[in-house]
Amino acid sequence: MITDIELMNITALISIFCSLMLFLNWKKSKALKEAQIFLRHAKQETKEIAELPLKNPFPLIQITNSGEIIFINPAAVKTFPDIQNLGKQHPILSDIDNIIQTQTVSMREVAIEAQVFHQTIMTTKIDDEQAYIVYCYDITARKSYEKELQKSQQVTEQARKEAEQANQARGDFLANMSHELRTPMNGIIGLSDILLDASLNKESKELIEAINSSSKNLLILLNDLLDFSKIEAGEISVESIPYNPSDIIHQLEKLHRPVASQKGLIMETEIRGNMPDFVLGDPSRLQQILNNLMSNAVKFTDKGSILVSLKCKPQVDNQILLQIAVKDTGIGIPEDKQDKVFKKFQQADSSTSRKYGGTGLGLSITKDLVELMGGAVKLESKLGEGTMFTVAIPAQIADVQQFKEDQGHNNKPLGYNTNAKIMVVDDHPVNLLFMQKTLSKMGFKDFDEADSGKKALSLFKNKNYDLILLDCQMPEMNGFEVAQKIREMETAENEPTIIAVTADAMKGAEQKCMASGMDDYISKPVDKEKLQQIMTCWIPGETSTETQKENITKNTKSDCQIFNWDHLHEFTDGSEAAEKKILGIFIDNLEQDIKKLESSFETKNYEDWDEMAHKLYGACAHIGAYAMAKICDQAQMLSANDTDNIIKLHHAIIGQYQLLHDTLESKKLSA
């Protein structure tokens, strides 16, 4: 914005410029003597304008090309005391000839010792000689501020980089800690579970139960730490799927009743009000919340009872409010300590952790999860009388009939193929022993073991496997590298399903596995039921009905994650003709897009490659090709400079495309 003073200065410059222009006209039309008289008047007028100190407090100079100073205002004399002696040799006028050669008006910045001036230079002529009008404005304070601001921005940027590095280091530490702790726990929990099914005498069974219980308690502590880290990093998401709240209450009651009974406690549940059969929400998170509250109730109650009640409060538009209370007759919490229980790493009393154990994170995580689900948690307690936690979580009533149909469709009794050839890869001997015992109990007979990545590749060269269970963290060659090598080596006859067995519970673990060419993953400690589900999905066996047998194609992967047929059926209302037409269009476009993707990749035009990945993501997600959509979604997030990950994901996309193409072609031909 131009200030009043600057406006006056500009007016003075214009007046000077106009006076000189008039002089040139006079020179052409009048005698030299008259012109000289006019020039003296013009100089005087200019001088009077420039020397108004109140109106023009900034340096103003007029000088000829030869160095003669025509005029100089008081501000210029004060600012540049030696300018009349030095003329064009003065630093404020340095290189002025070159600056103004091709322009009538020019601007620049000139630094003289500790001061910086913004300079406006105008050209004119006096007696056919080049002359300059120079206006200077002191911007030292502004430049100093800009310099400090730049320093501040640099400090902020450095702080941001350091924070990112610290966050990365924290993530790496937690991932490594997760792996190092979960790997031995995988063996302890898994083998103790197997021993509990064996015929043991009473004393041995009690010892095994103690080992199993202790290891699971340790797993709970680890999960608390990981959940805390994920919540802090904003990495926890909430699902919206149908579930029965009453079932969760009854399941948790069965889980905690044995421990409560051992302490002589009475545990009761109460379902009140018109509770819907199914609501939309996140059953896993709700189970985690109530498990924390019920565990605390059992832990801090030595006599009396624990009551878990559930009721629903109707809201508008098919919405309800789930209200769950966990009430105990335990030690209670002093009023002045109640504000601490929801804080991280704190318990009501320092002696609590020594006597009862725990991380001091359970209630903090509970509160965060409740609020993440849009709810609230309240505490009421009296010292020596007991405690009641009340949780209120909003939910929506789900379509019961639709949910039952979905459940019936998803629960086909497929089973798994026990004749499949399997390779287990893990560098930890306890984990190999656990997987050996587990697979044997599941009925598998043909499985090999490899305790390193190199041995796994050697076995793969000499035998065709249906499925490979691959540990991700191994020395020398990790599971991601092994998966990539296998995908490079595989043939049409030897194209195994690769399942990651990972102890990494951090966000991004699944994406990392898929990007390296794996098909699915299971977390450590390995849950037997989850392992059975994965086997059923990727290596299904004979089914009980002819209809189910017809649904098993040669490429069994298509029934799992490659393509969601239910999504397509809903889109077409079950019309086979419409499905065949849509699949034909999709396959044709998919082939063209893949060719463009490969062309961009070969020419290293990664910006076009990213655009094609984005296009593929949208098309695959809309039609139900979720596995490929997931990989393309990861790809479209990469920058053009992230060549290492672009290369990995490109190969993953091409591999998934081959599976998808074969699956859809087979379906299109049979439709």
311 and 183 in a common domain: no
Domain identity same for 496 and 366: no
Return d(Cα 156, Cα 150) in angstroms, integer: 10
Tokens 């103790």 appear where? 192
Q: Are residues 133 and 228 in the same domain?
A: no
Mean pLDDT for the stretch of residues 53-79? 82
Do 562 and 663 lie in a common domain?
Answer: yes
Which domain does 8 fall in, by range?
4-138
The answer to which of 60-74, 98-112, 252-266 has the lowest mean pLDDT is 98-112
- Res 301: pLDDT: 92
Residue 536 sits in the same domain as residue 564: no
* Structure confidence by residue, pLDDT tens digits, 254-265: 878 888 888 899
Please give the Cα distance from 438 to 422 (Å, whole number).
13
Sorted by sequence, the CB contacts under 8 Å of residue 597 that are 6+ apart come out as 609, 612, 613, 616, 650, 653
- Residues 371 and 388 reside in one and the same domain: yes
Which of 93-100's residues contact partners 24+ apart within 8 Å by CB, and which partners? 93/61, 93/63, 93/132, 93/134, 96/121, 96/132, 96/134, 97/65, 100/132
The answer as to whether 605 is a domain residue is yes
The token duo for 588 is 């044709």
pTM: 0.45
Instruction: Flag whether pLDDT at 47 surpasses 70.
Output: no
- In this prediction, residue 3 carries a pLDDT of 46
- For residues 643-651, give the mean pLDDT: 84
Q: What CATH number should be reported for the domain holding residue 127?
A: 3.30.450.20
Q: Rounded CA gap, 101 and 121, in Å?
A: 11
Of 214, 232, 250, which residue is a domain's last? 232
More confidently predicted of 338 and 404? 338
pLDDT, tens digit, 9 for 90 and up, residues 352-363: 444 444 445 678
Are residues 330 and 433 both part of a single domain?
A: no
Q: Which of 551, 585, 618 is the last residue of a domain?
A: 551
Average pLDDT, the chain: 77
Give yes or no: residues 592 and 464 share one domain.
Answer: no
Confidence at 570, pLDDT banded by 50, 70, 90: low
Residue 148 lies in a domain: no
Q: Between these two residues, 410 and 135, which has the higher pLDDT value?
A: 135
Residue 103: predicted pLDDT: 62
- What is d(CA 566, CA 564) in angstroms, rounded to the nearest whole number? 5
Q: Find residue 326's DSSP bridge partners.
A: 308, 389
Task: Say if residue 246 is in the same domain as residue 371.
Answer: yes
Considering the domain architecture, whether residues 568 and 539 belong to the same structural domain is answered as: no
pLDDT value of position 17: 52
Residue 157: inside a domain, yes or no?
A: no
Predicted pLDDT at 357:
47
84 neighbors 69 (Cβ within 8 angstroms): yes
- Mark which of 503, 532, 551 sits at the end of a domain: 551
User: Does 414 map to a domain?
Assistant: no
Residue 226 lies in a domain: yes
Is 379 within 8 Å of 291 (Cβ atoms)? no
Q: 420 and 446 in contact (C-beta within 8 Å)? A: yes
Confidence of residue 573 (pLDDT cuts 50, 70, 90): low
Q: Are residues 246 and 383 in the same domain?
A: yes
* CATH number, domain with residue 179: 1.10.287.130
416, part of any domain = no
| Best CA proximity match to 604, nearest among 651, 647, 657, 658 | 647
pLDDT at 391 over 90: yes
Instruction: Kindly report, residue by residue over 292-327, the tens digit of the pLDDT.
Output: 899 889 989 999 999 999 998 888 878 889 999 999
CATH for 613: 1.20.120.160
Task: Check whether residue 217 and residue 248 sit in a common domain.
Answer: no
Length of the chain, please? 671
For the chain, the domain total comes to 5
Helix or strand (DSSP H, E) at 388? strand 386-397
pLDDT, tens digit, 9 for 90 and up, residues 601-641: 999 898 888 888 888 877 787 677 877 877 887 787 777 78
Residue 454 clears pLDDT 90, i.e. is over it:
yes
Stated as kind and residue range, the H or E segment containing 292 is: helix 283-299
pLDDT at residue 559, as a whole number: 40
Residue 402 lies in a domain: no
Residue of 170, 291, 283 lying closest to 232 (CA atoms): 170
Exposed e or buried b per residue across 616-626, where buried means at least 16 C-beta atoms within 10 angstroms of its C-beta: bbebbbebbbe
Looking at per-residue pLDDT, the higher value among 416 and 103 belongs to 416
In percent, the amount of the chain with pLDDT more than 90 equals 14
In a domain, 324, yes or no: yes
Could you report the per-residue pLDDT of 121-133, keeping only the tens digit for each?
Answer: 888 888 788 888 8
